Structure 1
Amino acid sequence: MKWAGEPLRPQDAPALVSKGLMLADSAPRGVVYLSVPLDDWPEPADDTAQALLLQRAVDGSPVVTPQTVETLVTALDRASDPALVLGPGADTEQGFQAAIALAERARLPVWVAPSAPRCPFPTRHRCHQGLLPTDAGSLAKILARYDTVVCFGAPVFRYHAPSTEDFFQPGTAVYAVTDDPDEAARAPFGRMFVGDASDALVRVSDAVTASDRPWPAPLTIAEADTSGPHFTAEAILDAVDRGTRDDDTVFSLEWTSAEMFRDRLTITRARSLFYSAAGGLGWGLPAAIGLKLGRPDRPVVCLLGDGSPHYTIAGLWTAARHKVPVTFVVCTNGKYRALEEFAEALDVPKGEYLHIPDLGILDIARGYGLEVHRAETLADLTEYLKKGPDAKGPRLVEILQR
């Protein structure tokens, strides 16, 4: 949360509402919370103060200096083996297109930052290399291939999995642009610049020298095991991709065991994938509803494991009550796989508490008023998803996962 406040007296509430709106929309954008005591609402406002407040305006968006742009351009032009890393701060209409232009002009391999809650680059582009891992050692080994790494709109770096190895290997220069001063301050290495990442991408892409170096080797996606009746995460994602081959589709992703396979989804435009940055469970279901309400012109598909929706399961009632046409895909494996994997990594004994069988998600969703379906095959799932853009209300489909 970016800011929280409570008025000391009823007449302060309008000013705090204004402050909250300004802070929420300023860089870095984030959630704010204002608590107004119940007995403040009937109190009269200060008309004079309110009139002045309505005339007030705040303009200002931090951008990097021309000297910073020159530094980044020079670093890329002089590099022998440069790479680009993108994070959520680059996932704007402006930043998405500028990243493509920069990658093509300088022939850069493009990585998506670890646990990035967005997809800031097209997944089928020839420069796309995939998602960086979330443990320090593996990430350091990948980036050691390059002499220069330039990051836009991403922390340097977000680690999630345990590792005893060093953050980075010597021989690589790291530069990063972020609109969050705190993010810049806590970076353990690199040269950090504070400013709008999308704006910086546009300016750098316009100024960098066109390169004739060989194009980076494209990302290869291994063929999935499609045998059933319990399917692999890779096979399910492929089936979802075949059913959502539409530039307009937006994904709300909270299927943690499939995070590292999300490149199997075809993303071609900005703001098409949303994932919880903090990793808290229960986010994906209500987020999908909000995404559809915010962009009613785009189909929304919510990809969930069978455990996470139960943290916010009543959101299904909200979707049904207000006829929000989201398609929820629940991948059921009957266990808490994310914790199982961490238990193995940390040598923690696994107990029965990691098994969650017989939750009956179809019965629960039907009870809340959703159309429900059990996909027995991958083709069945694909065909069900193809009908999503024409749906008049929320739908939930379950498929069994290994």
Structure 2
Amino acid sequence: MPSVRRIAHAFLERQGLTTVFGNPGSNELPFLSGLPDGFRYVLGLHEGAVVGMADGYAQASGRPALVSLHSAAGSGNALGALTNAVAARTPLVVLAGQQARPAIGPEAYLTNVDAPALMRPLVCWAAEPACARDVPRALAQAVFEARLRRGPAFLSVPYDDWTADADENAPAVLERRVERAGAPGAEQGRRLAGAVAAARRPALVLGGDIDADGLFHDAVRLAERLGGPVWAAPSVFRLPFPNRHPLFRGVLPAGIEPACRALAGHDLVLVLGAPVFRYHEHLPGRYLPEGTRLIQVTEDVSAAARAPVGEALVADPAAVTRLLLTALGTPDTPVHGYRPVPAPAGTRGPRLHPEEVFAALREEQPADTAYVVESTSTNSSWWRQMDLRRPGSYYFPAAGGLGFGLPGAVGVALARPGRPVVGVIGDGSANYGITALWTAARLRVPLTVVLLRNGTYGALHWFGGLLGVPDAPGLDLPGLDFTRIAEGYGVPARQIGGVAELRAALSEPVDGPRLLQVDTALTTPA
């Protein structure tokens, strides 16, 4: 009989999981031995960067990504990055090496004691096979759990399992196929379409799932048919709607009271592909204005169950969007008159205003550029200056866990090699995923990193004001020069001295990774 490893490799190949993001340890070597031709191993120097790259790759490619971690230490290092993948509902198949089976009970060195428990409740599914012959089936379950539940699934495998003989039933796993369909029933569809058609002042709130599921343009058609305002859901990690469209009102505030105030005057709020809601600042109040009905449509069972208000339909947002477009009809002509971009704010000192940086990106970068953004303190400047009209244009750490930006940008660039990719990274967050620069250099990933250096954790200064904590220590970051750090990892880098130099640099051709460090003035997220 073939080995467990051979069956596993053949199954992964049939499932299209041939790119492995990892940082290997001794427990993982038996799985990695003899990878078939066509497999690619993407080495990251820290597990947080490994998961961040896989997260960006899976989001940009629309397919699950395979991650290889090292026992307990590597799995623990990855937990912070996994929070973003969980919140973004990114399908990741996370394999971790375990000690040999006879060594687990005595807790030999590099044993992951109760490996599934380490990852719960963060991942959507976690297991360790009961015996070597169960590995192929368990691996298949991990892949299907990640796809069906839309999140990271975790499997710990003792390293001696990979060389064991598979049993006669193992090859059956190669033919497995698991699919899901989530269209609403006829009566559910009639009720939903009737509620939307009867609304006098409907509003749309769209989540990152709209972009992830390829519904960007359909969302525009639906919004134009309804004619009401559109918000992106709070803490949005993908842009679900063109941000300068005349119906777009921006990102819904991430506090209970201001979100309620924003939705005042609407008799129906239709939420597609988002939780209700991912609040951040604790600003209590009513969840909804008096007389406002909320209907949520999501595939995420947990998001539907935990919402504090409104009705929920657990269904495929794509099927529901098509149903509504058919039931309501679509406008004869699209809406024109996209809102103009205001002139960027400036500063009197040597530092650039972030709006000047973003204006340069908007005007010098191709219109189809994909931006991976991890610079929280510049949020308001970003949305004032950018004009994003294409799907897959925006990626942000979904749970707010720092360290996604640089690795995520590498992953997006690997998944979309024909599309320009720019990482817009703050100096505070850059330190969490800086090792991704080495991977970008080794693979010659075409990527521009615009490093915004303001010398502080800018968002925390703003949050300190909200919380009445003006004197917290540890918020400043003097003395960091990312040009020298980047060059040490093999990435060409330069310090930008002004707007003209930035524009000239952005207009240069990109044939590998590069880093542009720009000193910026401190701004606030809102």
**TM bracket (short chain):** over 0.9
- Conserved in 2, the CA contact under 8 Å of 1:128 and 1:219? no
Match of 1:44 in 2: 165
Any idea what the Cα deviations from partners look like across 1:284-329, whole Å, max 9, x if unmatched? 1111111111111111101110011111211111110111111111
Counterparts of 1:164 and 1:220, CA distance in 2: 34
Match of 2:320 in 1: 200
Match of 2:516 in 1: 397
Letter of the structure 1 residue corresponding to residue 364 of structure 2: G
SS at match of 1:307: helix
Letter of the structure 1 residue corresponding to residue 449 of structure 2: F
Match of 2:495 in 1: 374
Q: 1:21 to 1:204 in 2, by over 3 A?
A: same
Shift of residue 51 of structure 1?
Answer: 1.8
Q: Which moved more, 1:149-158 or 1:339-348?
A: 339-348
Q: Are 2:263 and 1:113 equivalent residues in the alignment?
A: no
Match of 2:111 in 1: none
- Conserved in 2, the CA contact under 8 Å of 1:93 and 1:270? no
Q: Are 2:185 and 1:65 equivalent residues in the alignment?
A: yes
Match of 1:339 in 2: 460
Counterparts of 2:330 and 2:441, CA distance in 1: 52
Shift of residue 79 of structure 1?
Answer: 1.6
- Conserved in 2, the CA contact under 8 Å of 1:134 and 1:160? yes
Counterparts of 1:321 and 1:104, CA distance in 2: 46
Counterparts of 1:261 and 1:115, CA distance in 2: 16
TM-score normalized by the length of structure 1: 0.92
Match of 2:200 in 1: 80
Q: How does 1:348-367 map to 2 (within 5 A)?
A: 348-367=469-488
Match of 1:7 in 2: 129
- Conserved in 1, the CA contact under 8 Å of 2:461 and 2:470? no
- Conserved in 2, the CA contact under 8 Å of 1:178 and 1:195? yes
Q: How does 1:117-136 map to 2 (within 5 A)?
A: 117-136=237-256
Q: How does 1:311-326 map to 2 (within 5 A)?
A: 311-326=432-447
Q: Are 2:309 and 1:189 equivalent residues in the alignment?
A: yes
Any idea what the Cα deviations from partners look like across 1:252-298, whole Å, max 9, x if unmatched? 11111123444332222212211111000001111111111111111
SS at match of 2:346: coil
Q: Are 2:282 and 1:162 equivalent residues in the alignment?
A: yes
SS at match of 1:36: strand
Shift of residue 211 of structure 1?
Answer: 7.8
Letter of the structure 2 residue corresponding to residue 325 of structure 1: P
Q: Which moved more, 1:90-99 or 1:166-175?
A: 90-99
Q: Are 2:359 and 1:223 equivalent residues in the alignment?
A: no
Counterparts of 2:518 and 2:226, CA distance in 1: 43
Counterparts of 1:35 and 1:3, CA distance in 2: 11
Shift of residue 350 of structure 1?
Answer: 2.4
Counterparts of 2:128 and 2:499, CA distance in 1: 51
SS at match of 1:58: coil
- Conserved in 2, the CA contact under 8 Å of 1:130 and 1:219? no
SS at match of 2:497: coil
Q: Return the match for 1:284 from 390, 402, 405.
A: 405
| Unaligned residue ranges in structure 1 (runs of 5+) | none
Counterparts of 1:260 and 1:138, CA distance in 2: 16
Match of 2:139 in 1: 17
Match of 2:393 in 1: 272
Counterparts of 1:316 and 1:94, CA distance in 2: 29
Letter of the structure 2 residue corresponding to residue 334 of structure 1: G
- Conserved in 2, the CA contact under 8 Å of 1:123 and 1:267? yes
Letter of the structure 2 residue corresponding to residue 353 of structure 1: G
- Conserved in 2, the CA contact under 8 Å of 1:175 and 1:192? yes
Match of 2:450 in 1: 329
Q: 1:295 to 1:144 in 2, by over 3 A?
A: same
Q: 1:381 to 1:93 in 2, by over 3 A?
A: farther
Counterparts of 1:346 and 1:262, CA distance in 2: 24
Any idea what the Cα deviations from partners look like across 1:99-155, whole Å, max 9, x if unmatched? 111112222221111111100111222222211111111111001131111110011
Match of 1:232 in 2: 353
> What is the number of equivalent residue pairs in this alignment?
395
- Conserved in 2, the CA contact under 8 Å of 1:340 and 1:350? no
Match of 1:251 in 2: 371
SS at match of 2:157: coil
Q: Are 2:174 and 1:54 equivalent residues in the alignment?
A: yes
Shift of residue 94 of structure 1?
Answer: 4.0
Q: 1:278 to 1:94 in 2, by over 3 A?
A: closer
CA RMSD of aligned residues (A): 2.1
SS at match of 1:251: strand
Letter of the structure 2 residue corresponding to residue 253 of structure 1: V
Counterparts of 1:75 and 1:300, CA distance in 2: 41
Counterparts of 1:216 and 1:130, CA distance in 2: 18
Counterparts of 1:142 and 1:395, CA distance in 2: 41
